[in-house]
Amino acid sequence: MTPELKEQLDTLVKQHKVLVFMKGNKLMPQCGFSNNVVQILNTLGVPFETIDVLENNEIRQGIKEYSNWPTIPQVFVNGEFVGGSDIMIQLYQSGELQQMLEIALAS
Protein backbone atom coordinates (compact mmCIF):
# COMPACT_ATOMS: atom_id res chain seq x y z
CA MET A 1 0.00 0.00 0.00
CA THR A 2 1.31 3.43 -0.89
CA PRO A 3 1.74 6.03 1.87
CA GLU A 4 -0.73 8.23 -0.03
CA LEU A 5 -3.42 5.54 -0.01
CA LYS A 6 -2.84 4.82 3.69
CA GLU A 7 -3.19 8.54 4.44
CA GLN A 8 -6.37 8.72 2.34
CA LEU A 9 -7.88 5.74 4.19
CA ASP A 10 -6.80 7.16 7.59
CA THR A 11 -8.54 10.43 6.73
CA LEU A 12 -11.74 8.73 5.56
CA VAL A 13 -11.95 6.44 8.59
CA LYS A 14 -11.33 9.29 11.07
CA GLN A 15 -13.65 11.71 9.26
CA HIS A 16 -16.83 9.72 9.94
CA LYS A 17 -18.20 8.24 13.18
CA VAL A 18 -19.60 5.26 11.25
CA LEU A 19 -18.16 4.38 7.85
CA VAL A 20 -18.88 1.37 5.66
CA PHE A 21 -16.64 0.35 2.78
CA MET A 22 -19.05 -1.62 0.61
CA LYS A 23 -20.12 -2.64 -2.86
CA GLY A 24 -22.63 0.00 -3.90
CA ASN A 25 -23.98 2.62 -1.50
CA LYS A 26 -26.56 2.87 1.25
CA LEU A 27 -29.34 3.60 -1.25
CA MET A 28 -28.33 0.80 -3.62
CA PRO A 29 -26.16 -1.95 -2.14
CA GLN A 30 -24.61 -4.12 -4.86
CA CYS A 31 -24.22 -7.34 -2.84
CA GLY A 32 -26.13 -9.19 -0.15
CA PHE A 33 -23.44 -8.78 2.49
CA SER A 34 -23.29 -5.02 1.97
CA ASN A 35 -27.10 -4.93 2.08
CA ASN A 36 -27.08 -6.78 5.44
CA VAL A 37 -24.85 -4.11 6.97
CA VAL A 38 -26.96 -1.26 5.55
CA GLN A 39 -30.16 -2.86 6.87
CA ILE A 40 -28.69 -3.28 10.36
CA LEU A 41 -27.49 0.33 10.53
CA ASN A 42 -30.81 1.60 9.14
CA THR A 43 -32.73 -0.50 11.70
CA LEU A 44 -30.66 1.07 14.49
CA GLY A 45 -31.33 4.52 13.01
CA VAL A 46 -27.71 5.65 13.17
CA PRO A 47 -26.16 8.09 10.70
CA PHE A 48 -23.46 6.48 8.59
CA GLU A 49 -21.47 7.10 5.45
CA THR A 50 -20.53 4.64 2.72
CA ILE A 51 -17.65 4.33 0.30
CA ASP A 52 -18.39 2.36 -2.88
CA VAL A 53 -15.32 0.18 -3.47
CA LEU A 54 -16.59 -0.69 -6.95
CA GLU A 55 -15.80 2.89 -8.00
CA ASN A 56 -12.14 2.72 -6.95
CA ASN A 57 -10.11 -0.47 -7.27
CA GLU A 58 -7.18 1.05 -5.36
CA ILE A 59 -9.44 1.59 -2.32
CA ARG A 60 -11.10 -1.81 -2.87
CA GLN A 61 -7.75 -3.60 -2.57
CA GLY A 62 -6.16 -1.14 -0.14
CA ILE A 63 -8.87 -1.34 2.51
CA LYS A 64 -8.32 -5.11 2.80
CA GLU A 65 -4.65 -4.51 3.61
CA TYR A 66 -5.46 -1.50 5.81
CA SER A 67 -7.78 -3.47 8.08
CA ASN A 68 -6.09 -6.84 7.60
CA TRP A 69 -9.53 -8.22 6.65
CA PRO A 70 -10.01 -10.02 3.31
CA THR A 71 -13.65 -9.25 2.50
CA ILE A 72 -16.00 -6.36 1.78
CA PRO A 73 -18.06 -4.82 3.42
CA GLN A 74 -15.96 -3.39 6.20
CA VAL A 75 -17.38 -1.27 9.00
CA PHE A 76 -15.41 1.30 10.99
CA VAL A 77 -16.77 2.99 14.12
CA ASN A 78 -14.89 5.93 15.63
CA GLY A 79 -11.87 5.12 13.47
CA GLU A 80 -11.72 1.48 14.61
CA PHE A 81 -12.34 -1.52 12.38
CA VAL A 82 -15.36 -3.46 13.69
CA GLY A 83 -15.78 -6.19 11.08
CA GLY A 84 -17.75 -7.36 8.09
CA SER A 85 -21.28 -8.61 7.55
CA ASP A 86 -21.12 -11.72 9.77
CA ILE A 87 -19.57 -9.85 12.70
CA MET A 88 -22.10 -7.02 12.35
CA ILE A 89 -24.95 -9.55 12.45
CA GLN A 90 -23.51 -11.19 15.59
CA LEU A 91 -22.95 -7.84 17.32
CA TYR A 92 -26.45 -6.70 16.37
CA GLN A 93 -28.09 -9.89 17.65
CA SER A 94 -26.20 -9.73 20.95
CA GLY A 95 -27.05 -6.04 21.49
CA GLU A 96 -23.36 -5.09 21.57
CA LEU A 97 -23.55 -3.13 18.32
CA GLN A 98 -26.22 -0.76 19.60
CA GLN A 99 -24.16 -0.02 22.72
CA MET A 100 -21.01 0.49 20.67
CA LEU A 101 -22.78 2.90 18.31
CA GLU A 102 -24.45 4.85 21.13
CA ILE A 103 -21.05 5.39 22.77
CA ALA A 104 -19.42 6.34 19.45
CA LEU A 105 -22.13 8.83 18.50
CA ALA A 106 -22.12 10.41 21.97
CA SER A 107 -18.38 11.11 21.86
Residue 75 to residue 57: CA distance in whole angstroms: 18
Question: Going by CATH, does the domain composed of 3-106 fall within 3.40.30.10?
Answer: yes
What pLDDT score does 40 carry?
Answer: 97
What pLDDT was estimated at residue 96? Answer: 97
Q: What is the structure's pLDDT at 94?
A: 97
Low-confidence ranges of the chain (pLDDT < 50): none
Which residue, 31, 95, 3, is CA-closest to 50? 31
Residue 59 gets the label, from left (phi > 0), alpha (psi -120 to 50) or beta, of: alpha
Is the backbone of residue 83 left (phi > 0), alpha (psi -120 to 50) or beta? left
- Is residue 21 within 8 A of residue 53, CB to CB? The reply is yes
pLDDT, residue 76, reads 98
Per-residue pLDDT, 1: 87
- How much is the pLDDT for 45? 95
| CA 88 distance to own-chain centroid | 10
What per-residue confidence (pLDDT) applies to 91? 97
- 99: Cα separation from own chain's centroid: 17
Model pTM score: 0.95
